[in-house]
């Protein structure tokens, strides 16, 4: 029936509007933190980890749609930009995007509330801070603070929040694992902002690449995507991670390929238009390798 086809098409459009390719950046903190704490000897609740994983993805989806809505309303995303095309191409209307954002945020809050009732009121501090940062992302990004927002939203807060959920208390040792994935998460945003320097300038917003210049931005990106591998080596040497965590080194070819793409942005057709997605792919693969390495340590 036509109505069923329309419903299915709208549902598919809504799903794509959440930018599912970016979900690894919210999945990784939960997975790596839980596996890392398990390696350090903590008794972790894997079922509650799955609940936290669902909540993190819902909050992330809401943040993505809200970001796209405000980018479109403020002229950051236009017909000649390379960012999200959902609103620009008329896939869904701005009103539907806003309604979708509200629904996702409401469901995420309900998910977080249920988890809080099971674990403790302290979880509200992490969830509330995450929701506030998601709502303020456009403002912070426009004032060259997007990287700080990402570090807190997809690194510091989920790592500590996950530690509370899976162990029953905040474990500050969880922060050892943050630097093994968050720089690449930041690099996704950095690649996007470096690509969009000219269009962001037109939209009268200021990002980190606009502040430090294109060449410095290229080198900063390369540092971001390589640093987690070096940090993992340091953690292994300090005994904070097992030697099996060095599986993350298998993602080095992806890191080097992405560095090459960034450094050649002005000499290759297409430049870095798809580098944000390529960086998210590196983050997913590298972090899954790290996750597997941390789990293997429990059985070797």
| Bridge partner list, 206 | 143
Whole-number pLDDT of residue 83: 55
Q: Residue 272: what pLDDT?
A: 84
Residues 70, 80: contact at Cβ < 8 Å? Answer: no
Q: What is residue 143's three-state secondary structure? A: strand
**What is the Cα–Cα distance from 211 to 148, expressed in whole angstroms?**
15
For the record, the structure tokens of 247 come out as 């599986």
pTM: 0.82
Neighbours of 156 (CB within 10 A): 17
113 by DSSP, 3-state: which?
helix
- pLDDT in tens for each of the 300 residues of the chain? 446 666 667 677 777 778 887 788 888 899 999 999 999 889 999 999 999 999 888 888 888 888 778 777 766 655 555 556 666 666 787 788 888 888 988 898 899 899 999 999 989 888 888 878 877 877 887 788 888 888 998 889 999 999 999 999 999 999 999 999 999 999 998 998 888 887 777 777 888 888 898 899 999 999 999 999 999 999 999 989 999 999 999 999 999 999 999 998 876 556 788 898 899 889 989 999 999 999 998 777
Task: Tell me the C-alpha distance between 77 and 125, whole Å.
Answer: 33
Residue 52: CB atoms within 10 A of its CB come to 28
Convert 69-90 to b/e letters by CB count within 10 Å (16 or more is b): bbbbeeebbeeebbbbebbbee
Distance of alpha carbon 79 from alpha carbon 46, whole angstroms: 45
Cβ neighbours of residue 265 closer than 8 Å, sequence gap 6 or more: 194, 195, 218, 271, 272, 275
Rg of the Cα atoms in the chain = 19
- State both tokens at 62: 């809401």
**For the chain, how are helix, strand and coil distributed in percent, rounded to 5?**
75, 0, 25
């Amino acid at each position: 029936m036509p109505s069923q086809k329309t419903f299915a098409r709208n549902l598919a459009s809504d799903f794509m509007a959440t930018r599912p390719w970016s979900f690894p950046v919210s999945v990784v903190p939960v997975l790596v933190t839980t596996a890392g704490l398990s390696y350090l000897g903590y008794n972790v609740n894997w079922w509650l980890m799955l609940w936290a994983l669902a909540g993190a993805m819902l909050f992330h989806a809401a943040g993505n749609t809200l970001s796209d809505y405000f980018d479109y309303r403020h002229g950051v995303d236009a017909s000649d930009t390379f960012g999200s095309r959902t609103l620009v191409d008329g896939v869904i209307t701005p009103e539907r995007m806003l309604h979708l954002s509200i629904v996702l945020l409401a469901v995420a809050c309900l998910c977080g509330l249920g988890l809080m009732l099971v674990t403790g009121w302290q979880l509200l501090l992490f969830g509330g801070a995450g929701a506030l940062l998601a709502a303020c992302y456009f403002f912070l990004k426009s004032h060259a603070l997007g990287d700080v927002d990402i570090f807190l939203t997809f690194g510091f807060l989920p790592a500590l929040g996950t530690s509370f959920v899976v162990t029953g208390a905040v474990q500050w040792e969880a922060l050892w694992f943050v630097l093994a994935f968050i720089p690449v998460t930041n690099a996704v945003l950095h690649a996007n902002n470096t690509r969009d320097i000219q269009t962001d300038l037109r939209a009268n917003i200021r990002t980190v690449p606009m502040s430090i210049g294109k060449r410095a931005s290229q080198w900063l990106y390369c540092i971001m995507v390589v640093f987690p591998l070096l940090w993992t080596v340091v953690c292994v040497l300090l005994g904070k991670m097992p030697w099996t965590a060095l599986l993350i080194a298998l993602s080095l070819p992806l890191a080097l390929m992405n560095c090459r793409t960034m450094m050649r942005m002005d000499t290759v057709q297409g430049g870095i238009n798809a580098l944000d997605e390529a960086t998210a792919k590196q983050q997913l693969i590298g972090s899954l390798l790290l996750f597997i390495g941390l789990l293997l340590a429990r059985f070797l």
